[in-house]
């Protein structure tokens, strides 16, 4: 699906493509491919690179075309193994055309377009658009990080009640998400340096906008690092708790085994077919039982004193 957007104090959708407008392509189909490659003459290799899920942020050129690949955050509502992730988005530009291609539906692009309309933002050129998309990606990284923090807190409360594998796996998946976020934000940050080098001799470069984007990315990166450290500490703490609980259970089981072993040992001795010199003693069986109970009680008191029970 593709839309044609023209900047008039915010991006306004047009019925057909106009020069110097933004062509936004999401989940492209065959008709979109034909329009991009045959009508606009976009290099097919660029589209293949953007389709790679693991493509890292980078730039590439072919003729007068410039490809800029960024990583943007997405929420995977149907994927329980990875609730949040990142996907590539490609911005393909030349002197007259600006095209964005993303093979996934995201909340970022509609929100970005609506934000430009609400604030009346004028995007002057292709570099402005790329920088503002990076800025918007940092905002959405922070937004998803708040949700991740809430999920971490919820999982911690569940683990405080009872340690279950499901809650530990939930924390592990969130930790995996933070690794993806960290890598993607760092990649986008590196991209700004490359773009500054490419456009340093042009009038496109807006130093204030670049500075704002860098500040927002650093904030997102610091937040990721903080949550990652907290999550790592939480996982280590619960791992220690689990190990301590196992040790406690083993001590109790060992103590119980010893307490129950003493009567069994005495019964084994007196159950042998030998003379035990108690045949003539009245209440011999009761005395043996009481003696066994006394030994077990003594063992229990000792283990209780050393806190094995």
292-303 pLDDT per residue, tens: 888 888 888 887
Residue 281: CA atoms inside 13 Å, Cβ hemisphere, count? 10
Confidence band of 233 (pLDDT split at 50, 70, 90): confident
47 or 241, which is more confident? 47
148-172 pLDDT per residue, tens: 888 888 887 877 776 677 777 888 8
233 or 278, which is more confident? 233
Predicted local confidence at residue 226, as pLDDT = 92
Predicted local confidence at residue 217, as pLDDT = 93
CA 294 to chain centre: 58
71-81 pLDDT per residue, tens: 999 988 777 67
Mean pLDDT of 242-247: 80
- Find residue 75's DSSP bridge partners: 84
CATH homologous superfamily for 2-243? CorA soluble domain-like (3.30.460.20)
Mean pLDDT of 200-218: 85
Cα–Cα distance between 211 and 17 in angstroms, integer?
Answer: 32
Biggest CA–CA distance in the chain, Å, is: 117
Q: pLDDT averaged over the chain?
A: 85
Cα–Cα distance between 76 and 99 in angstroms, integer?
Answer: 25
- Contact in structure between 97 and 40 (CB atoms under 8 Å): yes
**Is the CA virtual torsion 299, 300, 301, 302 positive or negative?**
positive
Cα–Cα distance between 235 and 278 in angstroms, integer?
Answer: 61
Residue 13 DSSP label: E
Confidence band of 97 (pLDDT split at 50, 70, 90): confident
Mean pLDDT of 172-200: 89
SS3 content of the chain, % helix, strand, coil (to 5): 60, 15, 25
Predicted local confidence at residue 159, as pLDDT = 74
pLDDT of 257 above 80 = yes
22-26 and 98-102: which strand pairing?
parallel
> Quick one: tokens of 285?
């069986």
pLDDT of 222 above 90 = yes
**Domain range annotation of the chain:** 2-243, 248-306
Q: Give the percent of the chain with pLDDT over 90.
A: 23
Predicted model pTM: 0.79
Predicted local confidence at residue 276, as pLDDT = 66
104-147 pLDDT per residue, tens: 888 899 998 888 888 888 888 888 889 999 999 999 999 999 99
For 47, the 3-state DSSP assignment is helix
Mean pLDDT of 269-295: 74
């Amino acid at each position: 699906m593709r839309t044609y957007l023209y900047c008039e104090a915010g991006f306004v959708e047009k019925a057909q493509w106009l020069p110097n407008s933004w062509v936004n392509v999401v989940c492209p189909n065959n008709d979109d491919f034909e329009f991009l490659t045959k009508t606009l003459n976009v290099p097919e290799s660029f589209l293949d690179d953007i389709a790679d899920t693991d493509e890292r942020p980078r730039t590439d050129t072919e003729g007068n075309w410039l490809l800029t690949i960024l990583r943007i955050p997405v929420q995977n509502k149907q994927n329980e193994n990875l609730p949040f992730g990142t996907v590539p988005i490609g911005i393909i530009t030349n002197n007259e055309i600006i095209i964005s291609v993303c093979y996934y539906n995201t909340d970022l692009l509609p929100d970005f377009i609506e934000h430009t309309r609400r604030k009346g933002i004028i995007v002057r050129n292709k570099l402005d658009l790329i920088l503002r998309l990076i800025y918007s990606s940092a905002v959405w990284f922070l937004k998803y990080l708040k949700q991740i923090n809430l999920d971490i807190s919820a999982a911690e409360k569940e683990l405080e009640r009872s340690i279950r594998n499901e809650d530990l796996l939930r924390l592990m998946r969130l930790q995996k998400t933070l690794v993806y976020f960290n890598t993607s934000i760092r990649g986008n940050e590196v991209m700004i340096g490359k773009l500054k080098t490419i456009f340093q001799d042009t009038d496109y470069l807006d130093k204030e906008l670049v500075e704002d984007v860098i500040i927002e990315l650093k904030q997102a990166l610091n937040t990721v690092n903080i949550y990652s450290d907290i999550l790592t500490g939480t996982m280590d703490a619960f791992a220690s708790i689990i190990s301590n609980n196992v040790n406690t259970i083993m001590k109790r089981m060992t103590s119980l085994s010893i307490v129950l072993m003493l009567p069994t040992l005495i019964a084994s001795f007196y159950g042998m077919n030998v003379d035990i010199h108690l045949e003539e003693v009245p209440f011999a069986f009761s005395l043996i039982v009481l003696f066994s109970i006394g030994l077990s009680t003594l063992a229990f008191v000792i283990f209780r004193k050393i806190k094995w029970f």
